[in-house]
Structure 1
Amino acid sequence: MLGPFTINTVFPAFTQIGQEFGASDVVLQQLISVYLASFAVMSVFHGPLSDALGRKPVMLTGLAIYILAMFGAVLASGMGMLIALRVLQGMSAGAATIVSRVVIRDLFAGAEAQRLMAQVMMIFALSPVIAPMLGGWLLLLGDWRWVFAGVGLYGVLVMVLTALMPESLPRSARIPLRLGSVVGSLWEVGRSGTMVRIALATALGFAAHFVFVAAAPIIVVRLLGLGEQDFWVLFGPLIVGMMAGSFVVGRAAGAMDRTRLITLGYLGTLLTSGLNLVLVMVFPDPSGQLDASLIPVLVGPMLMSFTASLFFAPIQLEILDLFPHHRGAAASLGTFFTLVVNALLSGVIAPLITGSLTVVAVAAVVFVVAGSLLWTWHLVERRSHPRSVAD
Structure 2
Amino acid sequence: MHPLWQGPLWALAVLLAVLGMLGPFSIDTYIPAFSGIALALDATPLQMQQTLSAYLFGFAFMNLFHGALADSFGRRPVVLTGLAMFTLASAGCALSESIGQLIFFRALQGLSTGAGIVVSRAVVRDLFAPAQAQRVMAQITIFFGIAPALAPMVGGWLFVHLGWAAVFWFLTLVGVLLWSINWRYLPESLPQEMRQPFRIKPLMQGYRTLCSDPRFLLLALASGVPFNGMFLYVLCAPAFLGELLQLEPTQFFWFFMISIAGIMAGAWVSGRLAGRIPPKRQIRHGFVIMLAVSLVNLAANLLWPPHASWAMIPIGVFSFGWAMMVPVVTLLVLDIHPERRGLASSLQAVVGSTANGIVAGVLAPLVMHSALLLALGSISLMLIGLASWIYLHHRWPEIGRHAEAN
Tell whether the structures are fold-level matches, with TM greater than 0.5: yes
Alignment: residue pair count: 379
> Aligned-pair distance for 1:181?
2.9
> Aligned-pair distance for 1:202?
1.8
SS of equivalent residue, structure 2 residue 312: helix
Q: Structure 1: how far apart are the matches of 2:113 and 2:169? A: 16
1:314 aligned residue (311, 328, 331): 328
> Aligned-pair distance for 1:138?
1.7
Q: 1:248 to 1:31 in 2, by over 3 A?
A: farther
Q: Which moved more, 1:83-92 or 1:112-121?
A: 83-92
Percent of aligned positions with the same letter in both sequences? 37
1:270 aligned residue (271, 291, 296): 291
Amino acid in structure 1 at the alignment position of 2:387? L
SS of equivalent residue, structure 1 residue 152: helix
SS of equivalent residue, structure 1 residue 140: helix
> Aligned-pair distance for 1:297?
2.0
Question: Residue 364 in 1 paired to residue 378 in 2?
Answer: yes
Provide the residue aligned with 1:111 in structure 2: 131
Provide the residue aligned with 1:14 in structure 2: 34
Question: Residue 330 in 1 paired to residue 335 in 2?
Answer: no
> Aligned-pair distance for 1:13?
2.4
Q: Structure 2: how far apart are the matches of 1:61 and 1:360? A: 40
SS of equivalent residue, structure 1 residue 296: coil
Provide the residue aligned with 2:11 in structure 1: none
> Aligned-pair distance for 1:316?
0.6
Amino acid in structure 2 at the alignment position of 1:91? L
Provide the residue aligned with 1:87 in structure 2: 107
> Aligned-pair distance for 1:185?
2.4
After superposition, give the CA deviation of every residue in 1:3-54 in whole Å (9 maximum; x if it has no partner).
Answer: 2211222332234345554544x76555444433321221111001100000
Question: Residue 57 in 1 paired to residue 77 in 2?
Answer: yes
Q: Are the counterparts in 1 of residues 230 and 319 from structure 2 also a CA contact under 8 Å?
A: yes
After superposition, give the CA deviation of every residue in 1:310-347 in whole Å (9 maximum; x if it has no partner).
Answer: 12111110100101111001111111100111122223
Q: Which moved more, 1:37-46 or 1:107-116?
A: 37-46
Q: Structure 1: how far apart are the matches of 2:385 and 2:51? A: 27
After superposition, give the CA deviation of every residue in 1:111-158 in whole Å (9 maximum; x if it has no partner).
Answer: 100000000110001111111121222223233322222223222222
Provide the residue aligned with 1:353 in structure 2: 367
Q: Are the counterparts in 1 of residues 68 and 198 from structure 2 also a CA contact under 8 Å?
A: no
Q: Are the counterparts in 2 of residues 48 and 185 from structure 1 also a CA contact under 8 Å?
A: no
Question: Residue 75 in 1 paired to residue 95 in 2?
Answer: yes
TM-score using structure 1 length: 0.89
Q: Structure 2: how far apart are the matches of 1:91 and 1:112? A: 31
SS of equivalent residue, structure 1 residue 372: helix
Q: List aligned pairs for 1:1-391, cutoff 5 A.
A: 1-18=21-38, 21=42, 23-24=44-45, 28=48, 30-164=50-184, 165-224=186-245, 230-285=251-306, 294-383=308-397
TM-score using structure 2 length: 0.86
Amino acid in structure 2 at the alignment position of 1:379? H
Q: Structure 1: how far apart are the matches of 2:37 and 2:236? A: 17
Amino acid in structure 1 at the alignment position of 2:348? G
Gapped regions of structure 2 (runs ≥ 5)? 1-20, 401-406
SS of equivalent residue, structure 1 residue 294: coil
Q: Are the counterparts in 1 of residues 91 and 169 from structure 2 also a CA contact under 8 Å?
A: yes
Q: 1:72 to 1:268 in 2, by over 3 A?
A: same
Q: Structure 1: how far apart are the matches of 2:110 and 2:290? A: 29
RMSD over aligned CA atoms reads 2.5
Provide the residue aligned with 2:18 in structure 1: none
After superposition, give the CA deviation of every residue in 1:184-230 in whole Å (9 maximum; x if it has no partner).
Answer: 32222222111111112222111101112333344445555556655
Q: Are the counterparts in 2 of residues 33 and 344 from structure 1 also a CA contact under 8 Å?
A: no
Gapped regions of structure 1 (runs ≥ 5)? 286-292, 387-391
Q: 1:27 to 1:347 in 2, by over 3 A?
A: farther
Amino acid in structure 2 at the alignment position of 1:238? S
> Aligned-pair distance for 1:97?
1.8
Q: Structure 1: how far apart are the matches of 2:72 and 2:124? A: 17
Q: 1:385 to 1:202 in 2, by over 3 A?
A: closer
